[in-house]
Amino acid sequence: MGNVILTGDRPTGKLHLGHFVGSLENRVKLQADPNSEMFIMIADQQALTDNAKNPEKVLASVKEVALDYLAVGLDPSKSTIFIQSQIPQLPELTVYYLNLVTLARLERNPTVKSEIKEKEFGQSIPSGFLVYPVSQAADITAFKATHVPVGDDQQPMIEQAREIVRDFNRIYDTETLVEPDVMLPEKGRGRLVGIDGKGKMSKSLNNGIYLSDSAEEIEKKVMKMYTDPNHIRIEDPGQVEGNVVFTYLDIFDSDKEKVAELKEHYQRGGLGDMTIKRYLNEVLQDYLAPIRARREEFAKDPEYVMNMLKEGSEKAERVAAATLAEVKAAMGINYF
In a domain, 205, yes or no: no
Mean pLDDT of 109-138: 86
Full residue range of the structural domain in which residue 219 is found: 215-297
Check whether residue 238 and residue 174 sit in a common domain.
Answer: no
According to the model, what pLDDT value does residue 187 have?
Answer: 66
Check whether residue 48 and residue 150 sit in a common domain.
Answer: yes
pLDDT in tens, 291-327: 999 999 999 999 999 999 999 999 999 999 999 999 9
Ordered alpha helix ranges (H), the chain: 17-19, 25-30, 44-48, 55-72, 89-98, 103-108, 110-119, 127-130, 132-142, 155-171, 215-223, 244-252, 256-268, 273-299, 302-331
According to the model, what pLDDT value does residue 36 have?
Answer: 93
* Mean pLDDT lowest among 39-48, 117-126, 225-234, 315-324: 117-126
In a domain, 267, yes or no: yes
Please list, residue by residue across 160-170, b when 16 or more beta carbons sit within 10 angstroms of its beta carbon and e when fewer do.
bbbbbbeebbe
- CA gap 185, 189 in Å, rounded: 6
Q: Indicate the helix (H) or strand (E) that contains 41.
A: strand 36-42
In a domain, 21, yes or no: yes
Check whether residue 289 and residue 317 sit in a common domain.
Answer: no
Q: Does position 248 have pLDDT exceeding 60, yes or no?
A: yes
Instruction: State pTM to two decimals.
Output: 0.90
Check whether residue 32 and residue 97 sit in a common domain.
Answer: yes
Selection from 111, 256, 284, 282 nearest residue 195 by Cα: 284
Percent of the chain with pLDDT over 90: 76
pLDDT in tens, 142-193: 999 999 988 777 888 999 999 999 999 999 999 999 999 998 877 656 678 9
213, 246 Cβ separation under 8 angstroms? no
